[in-house]
Amino acid sequence: MSQKVMVRFVVAVMFALGVVASAVAQMPNPYGTAISLENAKKAAAPALAEAAKNNWRVAVAIVGPGGTLIYYEKMDNTQLGSAEVAIDKARTAALFKRPTKAFQDALAAGGEGLRILTLKGVVAAEGGIPLVMDGKIVGAIGVSGATSAQDAQCAKAGADTIK
């Protein structure tokens, strides 16, 4: 291999490593150990209370950072389809490190936001929020059963209890 080719190769590798390092540095909140069952129940309780206070019927799911279900509760008379949607919202928020509203907004904007439709396992509807403790994502909460904005209101009530 000529010296010129070798120099180009080294520069290309250094550039690629710089891009990766930059992307990693910009990632918010690293993942932590999965939320405990006790804390998962603590996060679900205010979400369910918020729904009950407003006479909404919802399902609440708490997952760990890898999307594994930790805790689930469905209020009586909640539409059956919301059971899976709550879990999927929580998984989306955990796996992609952002509230599901970010996907909803990107999709609504159209254009490049339509690429969201190609991402496997993404629910682009408000109601999923990462759970952060000590600066690390320990899971996520997902709520479904009311409107997306109402689901998000309940999820926020739950997420706000985890610090």
Sequence-separated (6 or more) residues with CB below 8 Å from residue 160: 46
Kindly state the percentage of the chain with pLDDT values over 70. 83
Kindly state the percentage of the chain with pLDDT values over 90. 82
**What pLDDT is recorded for position 3?**
66
**What pLDDT is recorded for position 163?**
82
pLDDT at position 20 over 80: no
List pLDDT tens digits, range 61-120. 999 999 999 999 999 999 999 999 999 999 999 999 999 999 999 999 999 999 999 999
What six digits make up the tokens of 65? Answer: 């950072």
Q: Is 33 helix (H, G, I), strand (E, B) or coil?
A: coil
Domain edges within the chain: 1-29, 31-159
CATH class of 31-159: alpha beta
Confidence of residue 25 (pLDDT cuts 50, 70, 90): very low
DSSP 106: H
pTM of the model: 0.82
pLDDT at position 133 over 60: yes
**What pLDDT is recorded for position 27?**
55
Q: Which pairing describes strands 69-74 and 128-133: parallel, antiparallel, or unpaired? A: unpaired
